[in-house]
Amino acid sequence: MASAPSCAGSPAAATASPLAWWRGAVIYQIYPRSFRDTNGDGIGDLAGIAEGLDYIADLGVDGIWISPFFTSPMKDFGYDVADYCGIDPSFGTFEDFDRIIAKAHGLGLKVIIDQVYSHTSDEHAWFHESRSDRANPKADWYVWADPKPDGSPPSNWQSVFGGSAWQWDGPRKQYYLHNFLISQPDLNVHNVAVQDALLDAARFWLSRGVDGFRLDALNFSMHDPDLRDNPPSGLPLELVTRPFDMQVKQYNQSHPDIVAFLERIRQTIDEFPGRFTVAEVGGPEPLAEMKAFTQGGKRLDSAYNFDFLYAPRLTAPLVRASLSQWSGEDGEGWPSWAFSNHDAPRAVTRWTLDGDMARAARLNLLLLLALRGNPIIYQGEELGLPQGHVAFEDLQDPEAIANWPHTLGRDGARTPMPWAVNAPQAGFSNANRTWLKLDPAHTGLAADRQAADPVSTLAYARQLLRLRSDFPALLSGDITLLDTPDDVLAFVRSADGAAVLCAFNLGETAVAWSPPAGWNTARILASESAVGNEATLPAVMAPGSGYWAIGG
């Protein structure tokens, strides 16, 4: 069957697991539409994920995060959920999903899935009932408001995708809030009945065997009930790509009551021991929310922001500032880090200084996997895939279409995964046309070609992940930032008396910098080479280079 009748009636909770497996775990993000197509319709599917699990396990990661595969009209490609407990037929069936769970667990991989609690599709049954009149049982399950006396929207809030965040609805003779597409009405998560329904959906998937959740757009899940206007951001117009950027999002997101809901989420998660939760926290100043969302061990386990996802350059001050925000003090949550994902242009394209994308890909992996926290690798990042080229007439993403050509858009990060250099559609699909066109530049970076090349980016990623797993300091150890010149980033990861020195020159010129005393020679893994024997660490670091020094 393609969907379940409801979120209720879930099986019994899983057996407790005493280990926090997720602390320092490497998570591999799968965007299902573009991962692997097994039925020839040009769209990746759950069966394709099951087929690809051996490849992922061989990388040496600890788990997978699967972006939405729920029932959806796909106007925002799954992030517009029409049934929280259904699987969209374009992706497959529950039997396919259960096969993923069983195979992943057999390979030692955990499975994390998305949960979207801030909004639904306008095709969700809840919204159909809510909009029917003002007196039905779900009348206040969404954010409804009367117009101002002149008929204009209730507040000045702007949508992420452009234009007012309010849409007039004839049946209700009211406006409803949509922070994203018009077809994505915002849930009224202040309503305890809505929270109960969302938690039932969480239990449904936890009972089905998932190991945790990535919580999408979490700080959009509650609004200011007084509907006060947002103040202007003061951003210069030349830096604006959408009206949303021109406001400080003081009242349409980040409500302080979100943390109480997170405590309810945690209580639900704790019915299924050993599970993991990580929040997406967007916005220009996300740290306070990230800390609040993960504080004290009674909310979520981890959070990540967009420090790196939209950064046009990778710089030592940027990384240093991000790392220094997480001190490891008692009660503090655990950070997660992503350089690329389905919403952001690929990091290799944004951060290549001299056009050598293979070198940039290796450097990015070396840095990402050294950070204190959970690294999240986006599919294709281990291949060094650059941002895919998508012509305007082939764009699918509503945000990319609305902002073209002023941004790289999201479609270029979502093009099909190249599996085989000599196969149709690079092994992604047998279809004549795929939902997004494959970038021909990606074919030469196909997984099978790189798997046969001992000096490829893929071979480097596998070696790096194996080495990391051997050193507890890199998994969950402390971090100490070292004094360095501006373009050099260096820190020591330490645990149980062992230490790893991690150093990177993120600038465009060579920099003279010597490691601290005691690190004269060490076994190293450098961005330019594989693991070697003992070597003298360089006194001058080449631009765009880095290394891990072990056993100094």
Centre a 10 Å sphere on the Cβ of residue 313 and count the other Cβ atoms it contains: 11
Pairing relationship of beta strands 276-280 and 212-216 according to DSSP bridges? parallel
Cβ atoms 175, 252 nearer than 8 A: no
Cβ atoms 196, 175 nearer than 8 A: no
Reference 159, options 86, 245, 92; nearest CA is 245
Active site residue 88: no
HSE-CB at 257 with a 13 A cutoff on CA atoms is 13
Active site residue 216: yes
Amino acid at 503: A
CB burial string 379-400: b at 16+ within 10 A, e below:
bbbbbbbbbbebeeeebbbbbb
Cβ atoms 506, 520 nearer than 8 A: no
Centre a 10 Å sphere on the Cβ of residue 466 and count the other Cβ atoms it contains: 12
Cβ atoms 546, 526 nearer than 8 A: yes
Cβ atoms 523, 532 nearer than 8 A: yes
Catalytic residue among 45, 83, 216, 397: 216
What does the DSSP 8-state code read for residue 437? P
**Whole-angstrom Cα distance, residue 505 to residue 547?**
9
Catalytic residue among 41, 51, 245, 271: 271
Reference 293, options 368, 224, 371, 215; nearest CA is 215
The length of the chain in residues reads: 552
From the number of C-beta atoms within 10 Å of its C-beta (0-12, 13-18, 19+), residue 194 rates as: buried
Catalytic residues: 216, 271
